[in-house]
Chains A and B, each alone.
Chain A
Amino acid sequence: MSQALLTVIGEDRPGIVAAVTQALFTADCSIGDASMMRLGGYFTIMQVIDYPRDLGSVEMALDPAIKRLNLRVHLDPISSVALTADMPNTRVTVYGADHPGIVAGVTGALAAIGFNVIDLESESSGSAERPLYVMVIQGYAPEGVESVRKAVVPLREREGVEIGVHPIEAAVF
């Protein structure tokens, strides 16, 4: 089996996930890590797939769904390396009045302490007059949660946002 990263974008409507995954199933692919979500008015899929033959046959299997649902599809072969990634040990939650520079400011401070972003989700919400920005970052802080708490202190004032820093620990019961 070889691995590829499959990207799918299309105007949101019911049936996109079903059509794409059914096509992959008929092409003998299996699905690994996947992120599928609506962003704006579009539905987006990014997922790791294992495919048995060549990428051409994967594209062929996807073709009817691409045409019917007017999707844009991209396939990148990736090397099947073992997972070297660190598990997240810190969750950073950010919210505040939406304005340019929040993400850049926060992630810049995190990058400076070697924080590796593993997962970032954000959403602009609230009303048009009072837009609210909410972001949740999960990642690995090599120096631990306290180092992250220290790093984000200046940002609270500078960006005028609330920033929470929480350890991610799995409790086994």
Chain B
Amino acid sequence: MAVLSILTYPDPRLQRKAEPVSVFDDDLHHFIDDLTETMYAGPGGVGIAAPQVDRPQRIVIVDVRPKLGEDCHGLMVLINPELAAWEGMAVGREGCMSVPDFTGNVIRAERIQVQAQDASGRERSYECEGFEARAIQHEMDHLDGFLFLDRLVSRKIDLFRRKQYQK
């Protein structure tokens, strides 16, 4: 296992769209181990996406236990993740390992259902809310080349948001 180095803004490699994973082999497993270790070593330590370590593949790892204890799904390896449903909106302040020294208000869905493959390629589905849902949405943005900076809103807009539901 190894801690990988994190790309930081404005590195253009953070803006690439990541490719789906099609081969679930030992190389992938080694990479997931390294990515997990890199996540735990980071200042937030609750989420990471493969593009942040210069591997443009659709791989996200989230483990919000450092923040929420056992009241969550624990370690989730999300490969080729898709949001199947989302509900509610909430404003929260986010920072990112790839954007040091800066935080901003971002609107995210309050509850999500995410479908993904695990490290062996099996289909999985998770329902998450609150902080865990926010972490997943933040990391999934990296797969499409988005940073939270792309989603900043002013406080006035935060205030006048309207609730929207979509299934």
Contact = CB atoms under 8 A, between A and B. Distances in A.
A148 interface: no
Nearest to B43: A172
Interface string A104-139: 000000000000000101010000000000101010
B155 A136 contact: yes
Majority secondary structure of chain B interface residues (helix, strand, loop or mixed): mixed
Interface residues on B, range: 20 to 34
B67 interface: yes
Interface residues on A, range: 10 to 19
B155 A173 contact: no
A136 B160 CA distance: 11
A166 to B, nearest CB: 9
Contacts of B95: 170-173
A17 interface: no
A170 B95 CA distance: 6
Contacts, number: 49
Nearest to A171: B94
Interface string A153-173: 000000000000000111111
A173 B46 contact: yes
B9 to A, nearest CB: 14
B162 to A, nearest CB: 13
A171 B67 contact: yes
A170 B156 contact: no
A136 B91 CA distance: 13
Complex A-B, nearest 10 residue pairs according to Cβ-Cβ distance, in ascending order: A172-B44, A172-B95, A170-B103, A170-B93, A173-B138, A173-B47, A170-B95, A173-B44, A172-B43, A136-B159
